[in-house]
Structure 1
């Protein structure tokens, strides 16, 4: 029997022994993990979500119009520091996100981001910006041809972790002379802000509804999908579409997947509009012995639905 409950009520019910699993509707946090730490016969399961958290730059803005500047921006973002803040107290780690097609635990996965030439390197980022003509001002902010090196990143709602993530990025980009201003907005403004491109930088996430991410490559990298897809950076061109369609036309997964991973690295290096940050955890707690309701992809109650949903229950 599944009961629909608010997260706080769910934790209270689990502590009271009224339900056998918690964390299905909302991944357990450091706070809720502490609340259930003394519940007997409890097993905590941790797994990577089938999702991508990422940051995008708006190349329609003058300060992000050239490829070298966008590359330098991403090279100044320390993704490891971001995850340390986001996962504090969760006892969770994962491989660095390197693709928006496949996850590190999937067959055929390659770190396309690393293969594109990306690395976290503040010194190199500053050198690239110097070469691109961005001059450092007395206030620590760069300027080029009268354009100030700055931009707004909106945050939505009042989630403390979301704000903390934004402040980490703000401090990281300050090291290369970029002035990132935080713009807090109501959660209800998310869709309008995103669709109207009322942002210079934006962090967001999307989840995978099936296991074969290569099939959805066009949603992230196609020029034609630039207004309706997941990539709103305006950094793609028409050649992206043709090359992606060539990969789509390959007849087998054995041919398609390595070709897609190679192409993804090329497209990243030619656009620098979207940077994968992490997948992030799905954390659940269950009474010990409750089987196959854990969050691991392909194993339990996951988004991909590989496991028959009736194949769960109490282990003998």
Structure 2
């Protein structure tokens, strides 16, 4: 799953044993949205917030196995309706207070009160009824019914355990750099929209079983700055002004490599980048239109023209690295002739300007998106050209994060374009269920709803797999997802950066990273 130009492990070995010291300078492609891990939604935000918070468990990025972190062990009820965690001794938050079972309870109880950026955390605790504090080191997390995805959810930064003082703050205040965790780094400065500064925490000795070493982090600190232009980010790495950068696009790779650096890549599991249509308005209320858009998109051309082979064409609503993914490439494939025939059959006729019409209505819709991934604009501009060939007028609406969130909350959109990362197929329920995000704004669909909720109750992996497969098929059949590409993380690093690693959801973990040969 890890692809590196030059091989990170080999370079680290050549550099010798890991050495402590130095501050890693990192260029983010967009500003982090919130300093609170529980309210972290974007990759760029999670790169920062993951470093200050520990989770009950961790997920091995190679095997997907759940490993100990704050919890040294756990027991799962036979029906997966409760999970009992035994915490490690001697763990403290960076304010000196102990991490206890009561801390776990307070964190999970507070999730329901988070603002709009807490949607992922809320989805991970679907059916949560409370946490029983058995003793200072034992917490039993309870659900109203089976929740087989919760153990994996307990490894995410959104369900990381924060101090009592942090949890007691209003959710807006938690975003301003005041979050206190038990992680290997702590905040020393937070400039909203501009930068974040972290330093390592002395005495950290309870790292995840996935980590390669024990004790304090090697780096003295991490300076995150926002550098929106990809060429500037790449140039800063090659010139030594930055040590690493997000979204190293294909056109940037040669510059980074020419200076002795490399590009580390890893595919993201979870929901692919896709159009999520609002089925309650405009031309996308017509299921035939939604279905016709799927074969109208040439995903291979998107990869070949805008991206590179480290990215993958989407073959369904889930990325191929997601557990229980189903390959739907026989349906999600480029076939413009089929798209045209389907639109003809639905009564959409080509107008004088090449755009189809029906009953005086043009086959036109707008897609709202953000620059959360640096390649979004170029990808969508090419999709715009592809759809025009079959008579569809796609309008692009690039929004700020704030405007995008406001629009999704109000329902004032034709379609959204985004992805969502999680190394568990329950991300389907969080995205498409009527009691999840449901940006489709659809009504009840008993067959689909049963598949989405039924997989959460299936402790047997084969039974769960059948439900997840059915859900993927129905989502495509209903035209609730028009997939484009699978996101890959592409991190440009200088030759001095060693052992910078991806965790299971393809976000960065800086704990094992170190710097060599930098004056």
Normalised by the shorter chain, which TM-score bucket?
Answer: 0.7 to 0.9
Q: How many residues align?
A: 291
Contact 1:58 1:64 in 2 (8 A): yes
Q: Check 1:188–1:81 CA distance in 2 against 1; reply closer, same or farther (3 A cut).
A: same
Deviation sequence 1:154-203 (CA, Å, 0-9, x none): 45469984333232122111122222233444453111122223222331
- Answer with 147-156 or 1-10: which moved more: 1-10
* Number of the residue aligned with 2:476: 268
* Number of the residue aligned with 1:162: 376
* Number of the residue aligned with 2:427: 216
* Number of the residue aligned with 1:279: 486
Residue 104 (str. 1) matches residue 320 (str. 2): yes
Q: CA RMSD in A?
A: 3.4
Task: Give the Å deviation of 1:235.
Answer: 4.3
* Number of the residue aligned with 1:114: 329
Task: Give the Å deviation of 1:18.
Answer: 7.7
Deviation sequence 1:79-125 (CA, Å, 0-9, x none): 222233431xxx53344323445x323554321x336x333211111
Deviation sequence 1:207-258 (CA, Å, 0-9, x none): 22xx2x2233321221233xxx1x4123463312223222222123343124
Report the TM-score, using the length of structure 2 for normalisation: 0.49
Q: Which stretches in structure 2 are left out of the alignment for 5+ residues?
A: 1-218
Contact 1:284 1:294 in 2 (8 A): no
* Number of the residue aligned with 1:176: 390
Residue 125 (str. 1) matches residue 339 (str. 2): yes
Which is greater in Rg? 2
Contact 1:110 1:261 in 2 (8 A): yes
Matches within 5 A, 1:66-85: 66-85=286-305
Q: In 1, distance between residues paired with 2:401 and 2:454?
A: 39
Q: In 2, distance between residues paired with 1:62 and 1:17?
A: 50
Contact 1:221 1:236 in 2 (8 A): no
Matches within 5 A, 1:228-247: 229=437, 231-235=438-442, 237-239=444-446, 240-247=448-455
Residue 196 (str. 1) matches residue 410 (str. 2): yes
Q: In 1, distance between residues paired with 2:498 and 2:444?
A: 48
Q: Does 1 or 2 have the higher relative contact order (CA < 8 Å, sep 6+)?
A: 1
Q: In 1, distance between residues paired with 2:483 and 2:408?
A: 18
Q: Check 1:243–1:92 CA distance in 2 against 1; reply closer, same or farther (3 A cut).
A: closer
Q: Point out the structure with the larger strand share.
A: 2
